[in-house]
Amino acid sequence: MSSSSSGSSSGSSSGLLVLAGTPIGDVRDAPPRLAAVLESADLVAAEDTRRLSRLVAGLGIQVGGRIVSYHEHNESKRTPELVEALVGGATVVVVTDAGMPSVSDPGYRLVAAAVDAGVRVSVVPGPSAVLTALAVSGLPVDRFCFEGFLPRKAGDRARTLAALAAEPRTMVFFEAPHRLAVALAAMAEAFGADRPAAVCRELTKTYEEVVRAALGGLVSWAESGEVRGEITVVVAGAPPSVASVEELVPQVQRLLDEGRRLKEAAAEVAAASGVSKRELYDAVLVARRP
């Protein structure tokens, strides 16, 4: 079985692809190495060249190499020319509007193509809207999953959320402000209006806001006024399902068939499932009546 590493190249190329994290709001959160890689790059591929101009102005630097646009509408077309530059030995830095390239932003295609070409890929870590929202949400952070943007079409959105209804991990979504109320309503429909959640808006910016409530309450909040800015939604995972007492009777019966005493079998199954030992004991007696 073969293996590869982002720290070294298996090919002959001396080029380097750098995914550079950018601030999600406050330019002061820029990682220290960001300025250095932008100044020294042979080529900078930016999701929005105007935002890049504002970023470098805030950093007080100048981009040393050529700047090209690299966004969802030209990603497929531009990737081959960027790989060609990398194979030729260039250092190419990818930046998106905010956060880490390739995470719901352009970059994945280029990384995959660069790896295939034997080009070294590196990262300048930076702020993450996903982790920032998760940290301030007040919801469990021990296990989580990132679901990105929900589908825009109602049917596709409903199917996606239905598939996540039993997901036990905390879920993180991105959403556009003008679709937030619709998305929250769809979540309330799929997960239940009482599922805890948090809407995190304009994180690290002047008008940062975190609204924590059940999904039903968040729907009312979103519908009550215009919501603006960058939005990250954090939703609690599904609570553990608890079987009904009647559903657990066959488990007790199997233990009885193995020679266990009723009291002992009912106690064991009740402890494992979280139901009342007395209720389960009585349910078994009822089920055994002729």
Q: What is the 3-state secondary structure (H, E, C) of 235-289?
A: ECCCCCCCCCHHHHHHHHHHHHHCCCCHHHHHHHHHHHHCCCHHHHHHHHHHHHC
Cβ(238)–Cβ(165) under 8 Å? yes
Question: Could you report the per-residue pLDDT of 209-246, keeping only the tens digit for each?
Answer: 999 999 999 999 999 988 999 999 999 999 877 778 88
Q: Which of 251, 236, 83, 268 is nearest to 165 (CA)?
A: 236
For 45, other C-beta atoms within 10 Å of its C-beta total 29
Question: Could you report the per-residue pLDDT of 243-278, keeping only the tens digit for each?
Answer: 788 888 999 999 999 999 999 999 998 888 778 889
Question: Could you report the per-residue pLDDT of 118-152, keeping only the tens digit for each?
Answer: 999 999 999 999 999 999 999 999 999 999 999 99
pLDDT of 116 reads 95
CA 32 to centroid of chain Cα atoms: 25
Q: Which of 203, 221, 202, 224 is nearest to 212 (CA)?
A: 221
Place of tokens 């979103």: 222
CA distance 290 to 286: 9
Indicate the pTM of the whole model: 0.77
Backbone angles phi and psi of 202, in degrees to 5: 55, 45
User: For 41-179, where are the alpha helices, taking DSSP H only?
Assistant: 49-59, 75-87, 108-116, 129-136, 154-164
Q: Mapping DSSP to helix (H, G, I), strand (E, B) and coil, where does residue 66 land?
A: strand
CA distance 197 to 92: 39
- Range 145-174 average pLDDT: 96
User: For 176-244, where are the alpha helices, taking DSSP H only?
Assistant: 180-191, 215-223
